[in-house]
Amino acid sequence: MAGMTTRTSAAEATGPRTSCDDTGERGGVDDRTVRHFAVHHDRVVISVSRGGRGRPLVLCPGLSSTQAGLHELIALLRRDHDVVSFDLRGHGLSSAADRYSFDAFLGDLRAVMAELGRLDLPSAPVLVGYSLGADLAVHHAAEHPDTVAELVLIDGANPVPEPFVTEAELPEFRAMWEDLATRYENERGSVRQMLLTAEEILALNREIDVVRSEILDRYRKVDRPIRMIMSTAMAGDSGEARTRWRNQNWRAGIERLVRECPRLSTSWLDAHHGLVFTHAEEIAQIIRSAHGARCVR
């Protein structure tokens, strides 16, 4: 799913805090070599950061995740990558927008990638996407393959057999995302803010179900190495019947994808959907060693 599927604590949702966050350090990383700049498009200002050295890498966040929340993973990747990270519209240090849709977020990624195209990068970057960011990465790579060296997709872009947000479960999901939106009210004006309303989050997740029902066609257009990093318990480990079904549906989607792209490389982590916060070191190590596989038919 684009958003959360379990009731997690605020710390799990945004990642651990550090003294840098508390003092207002941008992105939560005390690195004097990091450069910050803005990309303007679609009446939105996208906040972008670039730091580290080595192979170029772009990190596309997911719904309700920010550069500040992902600071641990970003810092680890900067050890051997020239990392470009950014906040999607309505998140972190990027400005609010009058629309929050899949295409609008895809436009944010396109704008950042276009800006990088004007820089003197030594090679096309590795494009890493988390959750919704993984879906955005696949769509971008399918449309602009020459701008990407390879894809690393973290717990997203999953062609699940069945949609997650059914009509019967709308009240449950609406309540969950109202709770999430309420918690984020305390982050307004900070590097961790998320400005979407519960209804906007709900509408986006329903849209993502549709996007993922058609995403196999996008994968077939990606002639670049692909590695998946997936959680074994995306919906949590409560043991409830519906939670078990959601986790099974998640795994079934990847099994379906592997059948379509048998050379695609997949790593499973014993984690829930917040794996970028709880398993940053493992993810960084997988990315360092990733070579992936092409999905071409």
Interval 201-236: pLDDT, tens? 999 999 999 999 999 999 999 999 999 999 999 999
pLDDT tens column, 184-210: 888 899 999 999 999 999 999 999 999
Tokens at 133, concatenated: 């960011």
Higher pLDDT, 178 or 16: 178
27 pLDDT above the threshold of 60: no
Highest mean predicted confidence (pLDDT) among 21-35, 125-139, 179-193? 125-139
The model's pLDDT over 253-282, given as tens digits with 9 standing for 90+, comes to: 999 999 999 889 999 999 999 999 999 999
Q: d(Cα 124, Cα 56) in Å, to the nearest integer?
A: 7
Whether 42 and 249 have beta carbons less than 8 Å apart is answered as no
Please give the single-letter amino acid code of residue 66. Answer: T
> Going from the N-terminus, what domains does the chain have, and what CATH number goes with each?
10-289 (3.40.50.1820)
Average pLDDT over residues 42-47: 98
Q: What pLDDT digit, counting tens, does each position of 65-83 carry?
A: 999 999 999 999 999 999 9
Cα(135)–Cα(213) distance, integer angstroms: 12
Residue of 143 and 2 predicted with greater confidence: 143
7-12, long-range: CB < 8 A, 24+ apart: 7/176, 7/179, 8/272, 8/274, 10/183, 12/274, 12/277, 12/278
pTM above 0.85, yes or no: yes
* pLDDT at 253 (0 to 100): 98
